[in-house]
Structure 1
């Protein structure tokens, strides 16, 4: 998994090669990432056409090359680039792709038989809500704007659990949220981008499956079915941008559904273009009434999400009207 991050940044380096203002070498591009301890990592990132570091007592400190892979740190100190590590003032910190490492650990520990898990989930009962709720009116997002595309990870195995949790791909939101998303798509299209949806409305029984299949020590990463999740109410959406010309998803500071500090909406790392695209997505969504979810740059909640009930309809039922 470590190589995935390095190849990603090397691909960015190749893409930006025609822009001489970005003066990083291939070695410097490959060094972008996180090092040391997961709880308090050192982040190496690109800013203002130079490497910077954050963490270990430094805050967005610029690195100035001094030759031979050595860098002077603004404010004092030295950092050296090594193969698969950096040396900070003589202390070696190993490179880590914390998101991939956590995902691997969860997948190895998942105890689920998908068929049996689904059967048990469908037999479970959602929490009873006594407060008045708005009537549910879920809309298929592909009917809102043809430029809205789907990449529903939980309908296949390309997700943090490695098993399919939806019986079919689909993306639905309550009508006001869906219409707001359409307006955000229109604004983004004027700048050359489309919306790529990873998840939206999630039936409650899938939240139950997440909780049941995930080891107890990792329950912080999934919603408690006893309370229901924001996705269950049909006003939460997980999404990113894609380039309208190429049809390819853009690079963001982290992967979707990554369990690491890189997923935070204000994560300082990555490269300038990634952070700019993250900001572009956020600005378009917030302008239409969506709220930022601080721990996940891809997750947005429509302003009235608390007023809707927990939903149990499956995608098959929704597709059949």
Structure 2
């Protein structure tokens, strides 16, 4: 069941405390059990194997959040609904039926990249020639702030300035991140709150020129359009009020593990995805609590995507990062 934003704002501190406490007292799973955490079967109705408080559980295929009790030799009894599950290296057997393991997000990404590789220059040329929707509503003047100037704990890892993204090619001419000033200041406050807990913010994307949104929509299969914005409407990234980000550990400098990869097009990316590990879900909740406290709203299909509350007050932006830098 999806947790709605308003309710989450009230219960998030309790949920995070419970999750971290569970992590502290949980008995560690062995290597084979940890390796089994993932998704199996068909993408439309997968079986999710996950960990909570040191115990393997499953969700899907007629079972809802069911505990697995070890029987020995990688066999488990399914509590609640009955039946048996057996772990294999790249699959599970549920009541005898073999369900292969899948990385659904990687499979979708491979398809997108294959389509883009056919003629990336033509795709970009068509995007640059396209026209954004005409807006008649009065908007505030754009006041985009370079996030690298705000707080030393705010780090950038701009995936769309290189090839490490779902499209597989550079989309920005330089790595940079901008937000409208009220959103940027709110992000800086979130960074300060997280610093006190030992974490920093790692920004993957913020303001996005409209032509890039057009490219995303064209390259993404229609059944996965919930993960990209419709260019006919313009995105909140285009308006300078959306940011994609994660946490990193201030002591080690390493990004924390979340239930999915950034920009993964699968159910694992949903903000209320039941899977992963106790700690991964706790980190996801910690990020969400810090951002919601400063006026950001979570995008339900992407745990990393947050929209600032004033996004409706800004128009669609088309300026490239080079143009923004030149203006300064």
- TM-score, structure 1 as length reference: 0.91
Decide whether the 8 Å contact of 1:45 with 1:269 is kept in 2: yes
Question: Corresponding residue for 1:133?
Answer: 139
Question: Corresponding residue for 1:80?
Answer: 86
Q: Distance in 1 between matches of 2:154 and 2:46?
A: 36
Question: Corresponding residue for 1:22?
Answer: 27
Tell me which of 209, 212, 232 is aligned to 2:215.
209
Question: Corresponding residue for 1:10?
Answer: none
Q: How many residue pairs align between the two structures?
A: 303
Partner SS state of residue 152, structure 2:
coil
Q: Deviations over 1:159-218 (max 9, x none)?
A: 001011111111000000000000000000000110000000001111122233445565
Structure-2 change in CA distance of 1:181 and 1:92 (3 Å): same
- TM-score, structure 2 as length reference: 0.89
Tell me which of 38, 41, 54 is aligned to 2:43.
38
Structure-2 change in CA distance of 1:280 and 1:39 (3 Å): same
Q: How does 1:166-315 map to 2 (within 5 A)?
A: 166-214=172-220, 218-315=224-321
Q: Which has the higher contact order (CA 8 A, sep 6+)?
A: 2
Decide whether the 8 Å contact of 2:298 with 2:307 is kept in 1: yes
The 10-residue stretch of structure 1 (290-299 or 74-83) with the greater mean CA deviation from structure 2: 74-83
Tell me which of 313, 318, 323 is aligned to 1:317.
323
Decide whether the 8 Å contact of 1:45 with 1:271 is kept in 2: yes
Cα RMSD of the aligned pairs, angstroms, is: 1.6
Question: Corresponding residue for 1:7?
Answer: none
Runs of at least 5 residues in structure 1 that lack an aligned partner in the other structure: 1-18
Q: Distance in 2 between matches of 1:36 and 1:306?
A: 40
The 10-residue stretch of structure 1 (217-226 or 299-308) with the greater mean CA deviation from structure 2: 217-226
Partner SS state of residue 110, structure 1:
helix
Partner SS state of residue 297, structure 1:
strand
The 10-residue stretch of structure 1 (263-272 or 217-226) with the greater mean CA deviation from structure 2: 217-226
Q: How does 1:91-170 map to 2 (within 5 A)?
A: 91-110=97-116, 113-170=119-176
